[in-house]
Amino acid sequence: MPTYKAPLEDIRFVLNEVIDAPALAALAGYEEATAENVDTILEAAAQIGEEVMFPLNQSGDAEGCTFANGEVKTPSGFKDAYNTFREGGWSGLSCKTEYGGQGLPILLNCVLDEIFSSANMSFGMYPGLSHGAYNAIEKHATDELKNLYLPKLADGIWTGTMCLTEPQCGTDLGLIRTKADTQTDGSYKITGTKIFISAGEHDLSENIIHLVLARLPDAPVGVKGISLFLVPKFMPTDMSRNAVACGSIEHKMGIKGSATCVMNFDNAVGWLVGKPNKGMSAMFTMMNEARLAVGLQGLGLAEVAYQNAVIYAKERLQMRSLTGVKFPDKPADPLIVHPDVRRNLLVMKSLTEGCRALAFWVGRELDVELKHPDEKKRAEAADFVALMIPIIKSFTTDMAFDVTNIAVQIYGGHGYIREHGVEQYVRDARITQIYEGANGIQGLDLVGRKMPEDFGRLMRTFFHPVADFIAAEKENAALAEFLPMFMSAFGKLQVSTLTVATRGFGNADEAGAASTDYLKLFAYVAVGFMWLKMAKVAAVKLPLAGDRAAFYDAKLRTARFYFARVMPQVNALNLAILSGAKPIMDFPAESF
């Protein structure tokens, strides 16, 4: 049986000592987000995650969701757990107080996404999608729609979805066929079929609010002719049934406790959200935060897989150490003594902790974008978030799949046996690499949209702070062993950026061929930057740490491993990028 304990000490370290999350309390509206209050919330989140959600994770995976007569039943225990979750106020944590929320930072929601994904990713998807729906409505809908729907979403008594994909189109949303016909009362009739709709139908809430992409009769072709509509399962005035129904649910390899639905809209009543034919910009409000949330799902799965791999490696006896007996009182030494097992664990640890720091940094900047009084600071934060979203979504989920696979490898034969639990994490993690924009699409977004925008404006929000940090710390003896390695990697990122930008300008295939490798290279450098910042803090705190000395010492040792054994992957990625598109594109289709 697997186990899970929320890594609160590591989370507090990042929040309080690395990214200065307590400073958010100085922003208007966030006065309650003090370190003390946040810590109280984290303790409560750990408790509900460990004691309410986690015990349902394996059973929910084994039972899955069931579908009959157009209705979906979630796994046993999910409904009671959701009631506990809702009554605790978790649904409205970062929702505005005027709609019944608590008005706390988005960053705190990011932290909870990690904890709840570790505990039970399938369960966490139901309220997680509701938060995305809340944001899209809050930013783009009329006051009438906001006042009607947002209090219910913040309370959690109603939940939300995002309905994009159709049978004939996934990422290429310009091909959608769902139509919206104008009615005399200002509403619309929505007709079409959407697939792969997470939480499209379930028994947890009293109503489900669908945000649906559709076309108006006179809409232009392609993505410029897409509008966004709010379509409730039950009409809000009298709770009569709307003409929207679940046609089936998918039988998936993972996240089986989360219902993935085919949704049929048959002249369902809906209301326009935002302006006509501007649905993509409104939907991206939902998609960007959803992509960050998926990255945090990957982080949560990596954390719980690492925890269980460490426990198993310390307990499982397997041969003697290569350098002599280490546990003479036992018939064999535990796995933890073997170099390759330790290497695997350190890969897991260094990537998980580094990605946590990077993701939380992005979460913090979401709050700066929302609340900072300086317009320039808000704009810079928005640019930084836009730049980093594809990196967080893609790299962290790729990392999660690698880390969960390593956990299976450490368990050996017990790893692929269901009762030990780690094989589920692999199956769950694999799906995160696909939904909310497959990871290859994230690379294209990075090199095709984010890199060239306004001659590199977004790129500067990362490159300039890194360059400033290097200049400020070049004489810091505590970082002397790390800075040369980091500067070399940063230099290769700069070279690769220039290469992709210049070649891609003349031939888009050059940018496309480099996109995935470039995103990974960027991510390794970004995670390395966070390890530099964590190492700086640990080096300062260690001499006077007392009982926490082992904690800070472990941070420095993990940073040392990351720079020595993980960061060098930048070298290979840089060479691959420099090779250009020819090895890929100069290959006849018939030769595949």
The Cα angle at residue 285 between residues 283 and 287, in degrees rounded to 5: 70
| 436 assigned to active site | yes
Strands 188-198 and 227-232: unpaired
Q: How far is the C-alpha of 428 from the C-alpha of 552, rounded, in Å?
A: 32
Amino acid identity for residue 407 in this structure: A
Residues 125-138: b if buried by 16+ CB within 10 A, e if exposed = bbbbbbbbbbbbbb
DSSP H or E stretch at residue 424? helix 422-432
Q: What is the DSSP letter of 220?
A: P
- Phi, psi angle pair for 504, to nearest 5°: -65, -30
Q: How far is the C-alpha of 554 from the C-alpha of 512, rounded, in Å?
A: 39
Of residues 289, 369, 380, 436, which has the active-site annotation? 436
Q: How far is the C-alpha of 96 from the C-alpha of 389, rounded, in Å?
A: 23
Q: Is the CA virtual torsion 299, 303, 305, 310 positive or negative?
A: positive
The CB density around residue 451, as the number of other CB atoms within 10 Å, is 20
Q: How far is the C-alpha of 531 from the C-alpha of 11, rounded, in Å?
A: 14
How far lies 166's CA from each of 243, 263, 294, 300, 500, in Å? 18, 10, 21, 29, 33
Residue written as tokens 């490898």?
Answer: 409
DSSP H or E stretch at residue 400? helix 375-411
Q: Both tokens of residue 318?
A: 């397997």
Contact between 293 and 112 (Cβ < 8 Å): no
* DSSP of 358-369: HHHHHHHHHHHH
Catalytic residue list? 436
